[in-house]
Structure 1
Amino acid sequence: MPFKKLNPEIKEKLEKFEIITPTPFQTKSIPVIKSGANVYCSAPKGSGKTTTLILTTLQKLKFEPLGDAPRAVVLVENKEKALEMFEAFEKYTQHKEIRVYVGYEELHIDIQKSEIFMGVDILISTPKTLNKLFLTNGVSSSQLKILSVDDAEFLAQKSNYTAIMAVTQTIKRCQYVLYTEKIHPMLKRFEAHFMEFAKKVEVS
Structure 2
Amino acid sequence: MPFKKLHPQLQELLAEQEIDTPTPLQRKAIPVIKSGANVYCTAPAASGKTTTMLLTTLHELNCEAVGEAPRAIVLVENKEKALELYDTFLRYTRHTSLRVYVGYERLHVDIQKSEIFMGIDILISTPKALNKLLLANGMAVSEVKIFSVDDAEFLTKRDVFAAMLSITQRIKKSQYVLYTEEMHPMLKRFKTHFMEFSKTVKV
Shorter-chain TM band: over 0.9
Deviation at residue 96 of structure 1 after TM alignment: 2.2
SS of 1:37's equivalent?
coil
Output the CA distance in 2 between the equivalents of 1:11 and 1:159.
39
Give 1:78 shift.
0.4
Deviations 1:15-47 (A, max 9, x none): 111111000010000000000000000000000
Q: Indicate the residue corresponding to 1:124 in structure 2.
A: 124
Measure the CA separation in 2 of the matches of 1:34 and 1:100: 21
**2:29 is equivalent to residue 24 of structure 1:** no
Q: Distance in 2 between matches of 1:14 and 1:185?
A: 35
Q: Are 1:86 and 2:86 counterparts?
A: yes
Q: Structure 1: where are the runs of 5+ without partners?
A: none
TM-score under structure 1 normalisation? 0.98
Q: Tell me the percent identity.
A: 67
Residue ranges of structure 2 left out of the alignment (5+ in a row) = none
Cα RMSD after superposing both structures: 0.6
1:161 aligns with: 161
Distance across 1 between alignment mates of 2:113 and 2:121: 14
Q: Give the alignment's TM-score, normalised by structure 2.
A: 0.99
| Equivalent residues in 2 for 1:69-80, closer than 5 Å | 69-80=69-80
**Partner in structure 1 of residue 55 of structure 2:** 55
Per-residue deviation, 1:137: 1.0
Tell me, in whole angstroms, the C-alpha distance in 2 between the residues paired with 1:16 and 1:184.
Answer: 37
Taking the aligned partners of 2:68 and 2:181, their CA distance within structure 1 comes to 34
Q: What is the Cα deviation at residue 191 of structure 1?
A: 0.3
Alignment of 1:9-48 (within 5 A): 9-48=9-48
Q: Relative to structure 1, is the Cα distance of residues 167 and 108 closer, same or farther in structure 2, using a 3 angstrom cutoff?
A: same
Name the SS of the counterpart of 1:176 in structure 2: strand
Match of 1:4 in 2: 4
User: Cα deviation per residue 1:129-151 (whole Å; 9 max; x = unaligned)?
Assistant: 11111111111111000000000
SS for the counterpart of 2:87 is: helix
Aligned to 2:141: 141
Segments ≥4 residues shifted beyond 2 Å: none
C-alpha displacement of 1:95: 3.8
Matched position secondary structure for 1:31: helix
1:177 match: 177
Tell me the amino acid that sits aligned with residue 179 of structure 1. Answer: Y
* In structure 1, distance between residues paired with 2:73 and 2:16: 26
Q: Which secondary structure does the structure 2 equivalent of 1:147 belong to?
A: strand
How many residue pairs get aligned? The number is 203
What corresponds to 2:106 in structure 1?
Answer: 106
One-letter code aligned to 1:13: L
Match of 1:192 in 2: 192
One-letter identity of the residue aligned with 1:14: L
1:52-92 CA-to-partner distances (Å, cap 9, x unmatched) read 00000000000100000000000000000101110111111
> C-alpha displacement at 1:97, in angstroms?
1.0
